[in-house]
Amino acid sequence: MTAHRSEIVAGRLPVLACLKARRRHAECVYVYTGARDVDGVLAYAGETPVQRVEQKQMDALSGGVKHQGVVLRAAPLPVFSIEDWFSRHKEAQAALVVLDGVEDPRNFGAIVRSAAACGAAGVLFAKDRASPVSVAATKAAAGGMEYIDLIQATNLARALEKLKKQGFWIAALDASAAKTIWEADFTGRIAFVIGNEGTGIRRLVKEHSDYTVSIPLAGPISSLNASVSAGVVLAEWVRQTRPR
């Protein structure tokens, strides 16, 4: 795992999830002096110090992200290497989301939220080709960051080859693919590749995928944004794999 300095978590759902999940050390909870209905969050603070501060300091702590009157300073989220992640996950049935250059922090966070909600085992991203874990990304994840593994790779194409050796099929989302997500088999170990919001999946990454799939659409708009695409394909994975 990589180590970083303290991180800021802003917003009631993200802060509550961090305090409940206890995957990382909570250093201090900051509460706006005029905030109401925060007792449900503070009930999980335990021995974590709580400071009441004014609006200006809250805004500075959150970096301008809407904080809903609650901010948490915490140890960084664990970010795993792919080798470390393999040692943690031996499931025969698992889904992984692979991000190829998803740079918008809100898209990054929304994808993490969908992945956590659907029971995916992790989100994999390249070191220099994705949004960092930021206050905005954590806020958009609405607590999802605390319940899923984040995996960082130096080279995404090589990481896909390592996934294949561990029994994963690699399905790249491509709006032009002939096979739709309704026709694909997502049982077993599957990794879904989601591309950059503007340029899509890079050629080399697509070449290291096993196949491409598209999301059927009926209207005049020909594509969905990255986070919506991730949510749709993950919902189809849940439909195919959950117990009936």
Instruction: Count Cβ neighbours within 10 Å for each residue of 172-203 and write b for 16 or more, e otherwise.
Output: bbbeebeeebeebebeebbbbbbbbeeebbbe
Q: Is residue 122 part of a domain?
A: yes
Do 108 and 228 have their domain in common?
A: yes
Indicate the number of domains in the chain: 2
Q: Is residue 2 part of a domain?
A: no
**pLDDT for res 158:** 96
Do 60 and 92 have their domain in common?
A: no
The answer to whether the pTM exceeds 0.85 is: yes
Integer Cα distance of 150 and 123 in angstroms = 5
Q: Is residue 30 part of a domain?
A: yes
Do 105 and 215 have their domain in common?
A: yes
Do 213 and 118 have their domain in common?
A: yes
pLDDT in tens, 142-160: 999 999 999 999 999 999 9
**pLDDT for res 129:** 67
pLDDT under 50 in the chain at which residues? 1-3
Do 18 and 95 have their domain in common?
A: no
Do 116 and 40 have their domain in common?
A: no
Integer Cα distance of 126 and 123 in angstroms = 10
Domain boundary among 74, 104, 123: 74
Do 123 and 31 have their domain in common?
A: no
Query: What contacts 96, CB < 8 A, 6 or more positions away?
Result: 120, 121, 122, 123, 124, 151, 163, 168, 190, 191, 192
**pLDDT for res 35:** 87
Q: Is residue 1 part of a domain?
A: no
Do 127 and 233 have their domain in common?
A: yes
Range of the domain at 52: 7-74
Cα torsion 20, 1, 125, 183 to 10°: value is -70
Q: Is residue 182 part of a domain?
A: yes
Domain boundary among 74, 101, 132: 74
Do 126 and 232 have their domain in common?
A: yes
**pLDDT for res 2:** 46
- Look up the CATH number of the domain holding residue 69: 3.30.1330.30
Domain boundary among 74, 97, 125: 74
Question: 217, 205, 240, 243: which is closest to 95 by C-alpha?
Answer: 240
Say whether 80 sits in a helix, a strand or coil.
Answer: strand
Do 89 and 154 have their domain in common?
A: yes
Do 127 and 220 have their domain in common?
A: yes
- Look up the CATH number of the domain holding residue 179: 3.40.1280.10
Two tokens, residue 178: 């002939």
Cα dihedral sign, 80-104-74-115: negative
Q: Which residue has the tokens 């250059």?
A: 101
User: Measured between alpha carbons, how far is residue 181 from residues 38, 94, 234 in Å?
Assistant: 42, 17, 10
Q: What length does the chain have?
A: 244
Do 105 and 65 have their domain in common?
A: no
Q: Is residue 104 part of a domain?
A: yes
**pLDDT for res 3:** 46
Cα dihedral sign, 116-117-121-126: negative
